[in-house]
C-alpha cells in the first residue's frame, strides 16, 4: 500500500486537531495528527499498542501513573494497551502515531 499525503483525506477532530489515516494493514496503522497551539488530545485509552513520533513542534504528554513529560521534534513515546494517555500541544505541532493492531474505528 502506498499512501500519498497530498491525496489523503483530513478529518477535523475539533478543538484544533486534525488526523490523516496513512498506510495500514489489519496489523499496523500510521496516522498523522496536526495540533494547533494549545490543542488537547484528551486523556483516553484503547486496546492498541501505540508509538508516537513528534515530527514538529512540542507536546506535554501525560501517561497514567507517570509524571508529565515534554517531547519535541524527533522524540518518541510508547503507550501500552489500555493505559490512559493524552497530550497538549505547546505550539503548532505534528505527530505521527503508529498503532498495532490497526484502529478500525478510524476507518469505519
pLDDT, tens digit (0-9, with 9 covering 90-100), for 27-80: 999 999 999 999 999 999 999 999 999 999 999 999 999 999 999 999 999 999
Residue-range domains of the chain with CATH: 13-103 (2.60.120.10)
Give the confidence band of 12 by pLDDT, cuts at 50, 70, 90. Answer: very high
- Neighbour-count burial for 39-58, b at 16+ CB within 10 Å, e otherwise: bebeeeeeebebebbbeebb
Instruction: Please check whether residue 32 is in contact with residue 68, taking contact to mean a CB–CB distance below 8 angstroms.
Output: no
**Cα–Cα distance between 80 and 91 in angstroms, integer?**
26
For residue 83, give the DSSP letter: -
CA of residue 24 relative to chain centroid, distance: 15
Backbone angles phi, psi at 5, to 5 degrees: -55, -40
Give the confidence band of 1 by pLDDT, cuts at 50, 70, 90. Answer: confident
Instruction: Please check whether residue 41 is in contact with residue 71, taking contact to mean a CB–CB distance below 8 angstroms.
Output: no
pTM, full prediction:
0.93
- Between 92 and 1, the more confident residue is 92
Backbone angles phi, psi at 76, to 5 degrees: -130, 165
Amino acid at each position: 500500500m502506498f499512501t500519498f499525503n497530498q491525496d489523503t483525506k483530513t478529518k477535523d477532530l475539533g478543538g484544533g486537531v486534525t488526523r490523516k489515516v496513512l498506510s495500514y494493514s489489519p496489523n499496523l496503522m500510521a496516522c498523522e495528527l496536526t495540533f494547533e497551539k494549545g490543542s488537547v488530545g484528551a486523556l483516553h485509552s484503547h486496546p492498541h499498542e501505540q508509538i508516537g513520533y513528534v515530527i514538529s513542534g512540542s507536546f506535554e504528554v501525560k501517561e497514567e501513573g507517570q509524571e508529565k513529560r515534554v517531547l519535541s521534534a524527533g522524540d518518541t513515546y510508547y503507550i501500552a494497551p489500555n493505559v490512559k494517555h493524552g497530550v497538549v500541544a505547546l505550539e503548532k505541532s505534528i505527530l505521527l502515531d503508529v498503532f498495532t493492531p490497526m484502529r478500525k474505528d478510524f476507518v469505519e
